[in-house]
Amino acid sequence: MRADPLPEFPRARGDLFYQDVSDGGVLFDPGKERMVVLNAGAAFVWTCCDGSHSIDQIAREFADSLGDRAPEAARILEDVESSLQNFRRQGLLEQA
Amino acid sequence: MTGRTVEVDLAGGKVRVHVDAGAPFQRRFGRLFPSRTVASRPKADLEIRWSRGSGEVRRNGRAIARGRTEASTALLGEWAATSLALDKLRGRALLLHAAWVAGAQGGILLVGAHGSGKSTLALALELRHGWQVLADDVVALDANGRPRPVERPVRIKPGAVALLPELRKLKLDLAPLRAGWPVLLPLRRQERSPRKAVRAVFMLERRGSGPARLRPEGEGRGLAALARHVSNFRERPAGALAALARVVRRAPVWRLSGGTLDERCRTLSTFRFR
């Protein structure tokens, strides 16, 4: 089954609570009373989901944050899209 | 109103309790709380009456619990006083369901679901390895994640004596256990000491088969695990997340599974802090 296209400018739901930790981040969804633990990469992507960053911009900023450790651009974009798909599947993004 | 009014202080949650009973019951009840003073104001939040085989706990002039023995009346009074103190604390502290034990190298928190063995393990560390139980049930965390013990007595539950026979050597009336009631063991009054500082958190899984095993949790997973045991987390999630992040930054979270009580004790008493 083909996944729906992601929003061009993903935006995090405004009613979620987020906390940075050294190895990523933790989200609390008060509606579902659920915690979501994010690894470092997903946490970076999450903090860019403000509705003003496009997916390509998020991927570029993620690559910049990794510096010399960054894999090739196509792989970075794939990882970012995978995180965003995951956020959307869990209902963490605003509907487009 | 006859009797005496005492103010018990549980991590800053202060409750005035009027005890209307003879001197033995007053001593019995007073001993349950290490931090207590004679109340300067007579008006009480709670009233406990004990007289000739009949006990009652009253709030706002209404009976909220009744006991038939001294022990059960004291137990119900302790429960009512602690519940009220925790209600008063809710707005200004995070209430983490945990035991806090301090050893020679530092303090640890034992966190786990009801029945995971926190109290028994905490008492075993005290009785077998010379640690000190600072809190058995609830630890209050401030906005910076700094803990403060809620010094309610340890509740020894039926079944604990079989695991920890040393409890028989304490001067406690264990008879209520046979009727399914817990027995209260007051905490020892503590001196201020740097050893109390919490240096690790252990999430207790129910004892199962296999040897005792420790697994580290990352900060994120550790924070999420701790949050499930904060009774007022949902009342202010942003502040709670920030406070818990500070806790897990200072004190790594480990998951403790398997092992007998003795194996768990040995694992924790020989644990090397980071």
Residue B199: predicted pLDDT: 96
Residue in A closest to B225 by C-alpha: A35
Do A26 and B224 make contact, defined as CB atoms within 8 angstroms?
Answer: yes
HSE, CB side, 13 Å, CA atoms: give it for residue B139: 29
Minimum distance, in Å, between the CA of residue A37 and any CA atom of chain B: 6
Do B227 and A23 make contact, defined as CB atoms within 8 angstroms?
Answer: no
The stretch B157-181 carries a mean pLDDT of 92
What's the pLDDT band for B209 if we cut at 50, 70, 90?
confident
| Integer CA distances (angstroms), B10 to B30, B93, B134, B135, B230, in order | 13, 12, 12, 10, 17
Instruction: Specify the amino acid at residue A37.
Output: V
CA distance B20 to B98: 32
Q: pLDDT tens for residues B97-124?
A: 999 999 988 999 999 998 889 999 999 9
Q: Is A17 on the interface with B (CB under 8 A)?
A: yes
Residue B190: predicted pLDDT: 61
Residue B191: predicted pLDDT: 62
The stretch A72-96 carries a mean pLDDT of 92
CA distance B254 to B216: 4
Minimum distance, in Å, between the CA of residue B205 and any CA atom of chain A: 19
Minimum distance, in Å, between the CA of residue A2 and any CA atom of chain B: 31
Nearest CB to B223; choose among A19, A33, A39: A19
Q: Is B246 on the interface with A (CB under 8 A)?
A: no
Q: pLDDT tens for residues B17-48?
A: 999 999 999 999 999 998 888 867 778 999 99
Given a cut of 90, whether residue A71 has pLDDT beyond it is no
Q: pLDDT tens for residues B170-184?
A: 988 899 999 899 999
HSE, CB side, 13 Å, CA atoms: give it for residue B221: 10
Q: What is the pTM of this model?
A: 0.92
Helical H segments across chain B, by residue range: 23-30, 70-89, 118-129, 160-163, 175-178, 219-227, 237-250, 261-269
Task: State whether ipTM is beyond 0.95.
Answer: no
The stretch B1-9 carries a mean pLDDT of 84
Do B219 and A33 make contact, defined as CB atoms within 8 angstroms?
Answer: no
Do A28 and B241 make contact, defined as CB atoms within 8 angstroms?
Answer: yes
Given a cut of 60, whether residue B152 has pLDDT beyond it is yes
Q: pLDDT tens for residues A4-22?
A: 788 999 999 999 999 999 9
Do A28 and B237 make contact, defined as CB atoms within 8 angstroms?
Answer: yes
Residues B135/B33, Cβ–Cβ less than 8 Å = no
CB atoms within 10 A of CB B236: 16
Residue B144: predicted pLDDT: 96
The stretch B220-236 carries a mean pLDDT of 97
The stretch B247-260 carries a mean pLDDT of 96
Residue B221: predicted pLDDT: 98
Residue B192: predicted pLDDT: 57
CA distance B120 to A51: 51
CA distance B162 to B58: 35
Residue B34: predicted pLDDT: 84
